[in-house]
Amino acid sequence: MESNGRDAFRILHELDSLRAAKADIDSRISALEAELHHATLQNGVVPNGSSPVISTAIDSLLSDHHDHNLTPEMIHRYSRHLLLPSFGVQAQSNLLNSSVLVVGAGGLGSPALLYLAACGVGRLGIVDHDVVELNNMHRQIIHTEAFIGRPKVKSAAAACRSVNSTVQIVEHQEALRTSNALEIFSKYDVIVDATDNAPSRYMISDCCVVLGKPLVSGAALGLEGQLTVYNYNGGPCYRCLFPTPPPTTACQRCADSGVLGVVPGIIGCLQALEAIKIASVVGEPLSGRMLLFDALAARIRIVKIRGRSSECEVCGEKSTFTQQQFREFDYEKFTQSPLSPSPLKLNLLQADSRISSKAYHDRVANGEAHVLVDVRPAHHFKIVSLPKSLNIPLPSLEARLPEISSALKEEEERKGAGSDLSAQLYVICRRGNDSQRAVQSLHKMGFTSARDIVGGLESWAQDVDPNFPTY
């Protein structure tokens, strides 16, 4: 096992250095090609045999008749943009002179970054502190399997460079905080919020207001997505719409609620589009309006939202929100949730009402009479479950107590003729939070010996059965 691990490490390492070398060579090739093209036009030396005279004529035509700075390579690369009457040379030049920052290289950031790199923004920044994981791959399409376990910023930057080596890609491999946000944001023209939590959304919006930057904000969860542009041309900021943060129980995460991969993909593409419109100064950005996407119903609705609120604490008329206040603002406290969400770890029970997954495993192996109740939702139970566990989702626990009583009785009868033997009652869930809530209510309802398995199925997979699937 260990030498396999070392082999894999060595291979990954070599892949890394080869990829880095390839990226260097690619960018050198494109630079030389551009140089050659330019030199050819200037000197009339045409390697492929066409007439030098014609070439010189073209050269003089070009130098006389264009008033933009697009190089021949740029004209070729972006020709389909240049051919659009409503986009053309002017918008492409604007784009090439602009800079866009994407915060988050996840489900939204993946397609947004790829399109922004491809379309030729001048400078493209990426902020992320996370690493690529296997359960990201279904939606975070910028990353490839070879990058699992490595920083998302590195992976995303490599992908962007391989799409367009002429764009300046800036890696910000750090978590966005009030201590670094002002400095990072101030270097960009347009900010794209592709994060996944409430405190980041407030922090990013406030920072954009303080610095006067337009913000393209997208979100996706389950089978729905939302998109709007904040702080653009007198339009509202995030706080104008949501002055008070929602209760933490209303902030679902993809890791808990699930998300269909293509849904953030669609919203991320639309974020790229809005950023391109703002950066190139074309069209009407989605400010003062919000796009709501319902994937199941196949419906997109665009609604009119309120304008800038004069009462807004950050962008309103009476607001005095300064850079200094921004630096000192506690977004985690304000929203009651962490900036880098990690799974909740409750501790509701006394130690003697809990049992580790290992100890539970030993008791099962010893043939102890017991009933295991799994309180996860039914669709979780269908993914994977422990043998002989009884699925009673937490919300229906109270109504289904008789099932637990009869299961206990049955187990006692099955295990021994001895009447003094009582079957144990254990409760499990995914991570060990709902199981504690369940045990609390079981205690109240007379099942005083009920115990929960600490850390749930995740600890079972970690400490007992490494082959047990995690999700």
Partner 1 sequence: MQLTLEFGGGLELLCESVKVHNVNVDLQNGAEKLNMKDLLCWVRTNLIKERPEMFMKGDSVRPGVLVLVNDCDWELSGQLDTTLEEKDVVVFISTLHGG
297 binds partner 1 (CB under 8 A): yes
- When binding is defined by CB under 8 A, the residue of 100, 219, 423, 442 that contacts partner 1 is 219
- Closest CB to partner 1 among residues 198, 453: 198
- Token reading at 338: 């962490």
Q: Whole-number minimum distance, CB 178 to Zn ion, in Å?
A: 18
Given candidates 52, 149, 246, 343, which one binds partner 1 under the rule CB under 8 A? Answer: 246
- CA dist 125 → 74, 109, 205, 390 (Å): 21, 11, 17, 50
Cα Rg, the chain, nearest whole Å: 29
Q: Smallest distance from the beta carbon of 407 to Zn ion, in angstroms?
A: 55
Candidate list 241, 364, 390, 464; residue touching partner 1; CB under 8 A: 241
Cα 281 to the center of its chain, rounded Å? 27
Which helix (H) or strand (E) element contains residue 426?
A: strand 424-428
- From the list 145, 177, 146, 173, the residue with the least C-alpha distance to 157 is 173
Q: Which does 265 bind (CB under 5 to 8 A by kind): Zn ion, partner 1, none?
A: none
Piece in contact with Zn ion (CB under 5 A), picked from 65-73, 81-89, 125-133, 306-314 = 306-314
CB within 8 Å of 160: residues ≥ 6 apart? 113, 114, 116, 117, 124, 126, 142, 167, 169
Q: Is 251 a catalytic residue?
A: no
Residue 381, binding choice from Zn ion, partner 1, none, Cβ under 5 to 8 Å by partner class: none
Binding test (CB under 8 A) with partner 1, winner from 89, 118, 163, 242: 242
Check residue 220 for interaction with partner 1 (CB under 8 A). Answer: yes
Of 234, 14, 37, 203, the closest CA to residue 127 belongs to 203
- The single residue among 87, 91, 95, 107 that binds partner 1, judged by CB under 8 A, is 107
The least distance separating partner 1 from the CB of residue 223, rounded to whole angstroms, comes to 10
Rounded Cα distance between 371 and 363, Å, is 12
Among 139, 239, 376, 451, binds Zn ion (CB under 5 A): 239
Q: If binding means CB under 8 A, how many residues of this protein chain bind partner 1?
A: 46
Give the DSSP letter of residue 244.
S
Catalytic (active site) residue 429: yes
When binding is defined by CB under 8 A, the residue of 290, 392, 428, 461 that contacts partner 1 is 290
- Strand locations in 111-209, DSSP E? 123-127, 168-172, 190-193
Within residues 183-212, the interface with partner 1 by CB under 8 A covers: 194-198, 201
- Of 196 and 412, which CB lies nearer to partner 1 in the complex structure? 196
Residue 302 interacts with partner 1 (CB under 8 A)?
yes
Q: Does 310 bind partner 1 (CB under 8 A)?
A: no
Rounded distance, CA 282 to CA 287, Å?
14
* Nearest to 460, CA basis, from 426, 437, 413: 426
CA dist 55 and 36 (Å) reads 14
Which one from 160, 251, 312, 429 is the annotated catalytic residue? 429
Contact, 313 vs 210, CB < 8 A?
A: no
Judged by CB under 8 A, which of 124, 157, 251, 457 binds partner 1? 251
Residue 175 pairs in a beta bridge with none
Helices (H), ranges, 70-180: 72-77, 79-82, 88-96, 109-119, 152-163
Stretch binding Zn ion (CB under 5 A), from 50-58, 233-241, 283-291, 400-408: 233-241
Q: Is 353 in the site for partner 1 (CB under 8 A)?
A: no
Q: How far is the CB of 227 from partner 1 (least distance, A)?
A: 10
Asked if 154 contacts 128 with a C-beta cutoff of 8 angstroms, the reply is: no
- For 230, the enclosing helix (H) or strand (E) is strand 224-230
Q: Which of 208, 240, 251, 254 is catalytic?
A: 254
Question: Is residue 312 near Zn ion by the rule CB under 5 A?
Answer: yes
> In this structure, are strands 168-172 and 299-304 parallel, antiparallel, or unpaired?
unpaired
Q: Using CB under 8 A, list all residues that contact partner 1.
A: 104, 106-109, 194-198, 201, 218-222, 224-226, 241-247, 249-254, 257, 259, 264, 290, 292, 294, 297, 301-306, 395
Catalytic site positions: 254, 429
Q: Using CB under 5 A, list all residues that contact Zn ion.
A: 237, 239-240, 312, 315
